[in-house]
Amino acid sequence: MDLKQKYTEDNNVTYEIDDWFYTQLGNYSKHEQTFIIGQLLSVINLLPEENQWTQETAGVLKGRVPLFFVVEYLKEVDESPILVDLHEIEVDEYLEFISNKLSIKSYYDRRTEDADEEPSGISILKKNN
């Protein structure tokens, strides 16, 4: 049975990791690291560009005890994004990112809306607890 593909994207994503981000990433398990980076890569091309200024986006790893985190990044025009910092936040800070449409999920939902697909969120990215 032949199915027509609804959406195609370029899987070749180029980005850089700052030493501090790499150090902070080491505070998490391999499983958590994989899902944090996976969430970022799912929206990295949609993050806004702001020359000479870092920006932040927030995500969550769902589980019995959710892990809310913020990633600081630098994304300039015609440059590869640089992941600068990573740290945990409280749920109320995460909700501020949601309400300001600056969360990873917000960017992900915009991507799926632009692709004329049903937004599914990032619920598949769960940590094992």
Angstrom distance (rounded) from CA 13 to CA 90: 29
Q: What is the pLDDT of residues 80-114, one digit of tens each?
A: 999 999 999 999 999 999 999 999 999 988 876 65
pLDDT in tens, 20-55: 999 999 999 999 999 999 999 999 999 999 999 999
Residue 98 sits in which domain range?
16-114
Does residue 74 fall inside a structural domain?
A: yes
Predicted confidence (pLDDT) at residue 56 exceeds the cutoff of 70: yes
In a domain, 121, yes or no: no
Give domain status of residue 24, yes or no: yes
Of 34, 39, 49, give the one whose Cα is nearest residue 81. Answer: 49
**Number of domains the chain is built from:** 1
Query: Would you say residue 110 lies in a domain?
Result: yes
- Decide if 4 is inside a domain: no
For residue 60, name the pLDDT band (cuts at 50, 70, 90): very high
Query: Which of 97, 126, 121 is closest to 43 using CA atoms?
Result: 121
Structure tokens at 110: 């915009």
pTM of the model: 0.77
User: Has residue 127 been placed in a domain?
Assistant: no
Determine the residue type at 85: D
> Where is 69: in which H helix or E strand?
strand 67-74
